Each structure stands twice: as C-alpha cells, then as structure tokens.
Amino acid sequence: MRELTYAEALREALRQTMHADPTVFMIGEDIGVYGGAFGVSAGLIDEFGPERIIDTPISEAALTGACIGAALTGMRPVGEIQFMDFITLAMEQLVLQAAKIRFMFGGKAKVPFVLRTPAGSGTGAAAQHSQSLENWFVHVPGLKVVMPSTPYDAKGLLRAAIYDDNPVIFVEHKLLYKTKGYVPEEPYEIPLSQSKVVREGTDLTIVATSIMVQRSLQAAEILAQVGIQVEVIDPRTLKPLDMNPIVASVKKTGRVMVVHEAVKTGGFGGEVVARIMESEAFDYLEAPVRRLAGLDIPIPYNRTLESHAVPQVDNIVDEARKLVRGGY
C-alpha cells in the first residue's frame, strides 16, 4: 500500500487542488523558496510560481486579511501561519471579520478560505511556540475547526476544507508531520463533521484529538494485554462536531475518557463531556466521565518538564485502568 508522511499528504492535497482549480492559491510566511516552516509547501513555488505561492511579510493579521479579501472576491486561498501561537495576532480578522461576514450579509457573501497552522508541543520550542489553541476557535460561531491525526485524514480533510464555503481553521500537530500512513494517489475528500471510530472496544471509550489519537491507540494496545478493550474515537472535525459515534460508543462501553493536549481549563474535552451528559448516553454511564488534558501551565522549554505538561501514553494507560477498575 502506498504510504506518505503527513506533510507529504498535505502537500499532495494542495498540489492536486491547485492544478485542478485556478482559484486556489497559498499565502504565508516563508512558504515559497523556503518551503514553509515544516516543509509542507516545499517545491510548490517551482510548479506554480510566486503568484500562487505567495510569501508575505511577517504579519499574521495582514496575511489573514488578504485571505478574507481574496475569498470575498471568488478565490479559495490557503493561508499558513508558522506557529499556532501567532494566530493570536490575527484574532480581529478571524473573529470579528471572517466568522461574521456570511451571517451579517444574509448569505450573499461567503468567505471560503483555510488557515493552516502547526500546533502542539514536543519539539522543545518553549512556551511561545508550543500551544494548542484550537478551542478558542471552537467557541466562535462562523468558524470551522479541523484537526487531522493521520496522513490519510490530512489529505482528505484539507481538500474538503478548501471547498467549504466557510473559513476553516486547519490545525496540524508538529509531531505528526513525519508520521507515515496509507494515502491514495487520487484526489478524495473526507466530509467535515464526521467522527471516526479508529479502534473498536467494549470496556472504555476514549475520545482523542490530533497527536493524542496516536498515543491513545498505543495505550489501547498496552491495555489489551491486561484484558481492557478500548474503543478510540477521533472527532477529526471539532466544529461542527459529529457526536453520533461518540454517543453510540459510550452507550456500548459505559465509560468514557476525553484526551487532548490543550490545557484542561476551557479545553475541548469539557464540551465533549457536556454533550455526553446531555445525551441519551448519560443513562448508560457506569463511572464518572474523565478528562485527561494538558496542565494549566505554559509549555516548559526543558524537555523533561515539557513531556510532563501534556498527556503521554503512560498517563493514558494509568487513567484508563483506574476508570475501568473502579479507582474513582
């Protein structure tokens, strides 16, 4: 089976879409000759030239504003912010402009653009280059939020995001760029808002996002050796969120844990837990719902402290065993 890295899958989605559709272009900092901070756009400027692979000054607000203006005039731009931390500099453009325009114009205007950005810790990049801020945008009506965890999903979800008529925040974890997986050569789309059961089980449901999907799968293999069968669900799109597979899984297992890297306070896990408690799955719960998330601290530079700041495989295993064995 054909395998690509996560970064290669993203590049292939961009290349294929740009060849097929002249309204699609890329814009961002160092995405041209340099090929992007993590190499996703490497070589694309040689194929499409500087008019479609546009290097910008170091201004996240400016490149996001350019995306909005281009989208309003019929283009489908793909913007790139080098580190998610600096999406903070584009908040006015995203929250007050992009997210509101279609609603305020009664649907007569649309803003079809994707803003790609790498997030997460694990590279020793310290507190200002390691944050996971996805839930800030989950909170904003008018924005969609996507977090693929595999190369296959990265390619299919990016293409779907490009052809969505709303602004999409597309969050890519830094540690996933070099991971490999099966990716078909032909173009394909994965519909936004379609959660996926990536591992079936009967004893515990784990809802995980981004890099935590891979860690949860590793934990599930370890837990299987002691007789605990874990079902792992990847929402893939955080907003709009497809709860159907999650509710069905919780009704089957009776226990659920939500795992994400972002800090626990105000994190995505709280939203998932609330929706489970509001659903018919509540009557099937046999234990309190558990959230396992990052500590409420800035990400440390020290690599040992950094690893302790966010959930690791061992943490998932320990908390899952407590939840299934009645440790609460």
Question: Which residues are known to be catalytic?
Answer: 60, 129
Using an 8 Å Cβ cutoff, are 111 and 98 in contact?
Answer: yes
Q: Burial code of 302-325, b = ≥16 C-beta within 10 A, e = fewer?
A: eeeebeebbbebebbbebbbebbe
What residues pair up with 233 in beta bridges, in sequence order?
A: 197, 207
Using an 8 Å Cβ cutoff, are 323 and 285 in contact?
Answer: no
* % helix, strand, coil for the chain, step of 5: 40, 20, 40
Query: Can the peptide bond before residue 118 be classed as cis, meaning omega within 30 degrees of 0?
Result: no
Find, among 212, 216, 196, 218, the residue nearest to 152 by Cα.
196
Q: How far apart are CA 94 and CA 100, in angstroms?
A: 9
Hey, is 198 helix, strand or coil? strand
Using an 8 Å Cβ cutoff, are 150 and 107 in contact?
Answer: no
Q: What is the largest CA-CA distance in the chain?
A: 60
Q: How far apart are CA 3 and CA 187, in angstroms?
A: 15
- Per-residue 3-state assignment (H helix, E strand, C coil) for 41-109: CCCHHHHHCCCCEEECCCCHHHHHHHHHHHHHCCCEEEEECCCHHHHHHHHHHHHHHHHHHHHHCCCCC
Find, among 149, 173, 162, the residue nearest to 40 by Cα.
173
- Measured in whole angstroms, the distance separating CA 191 from the mean position of its chain's CA atoms is 14
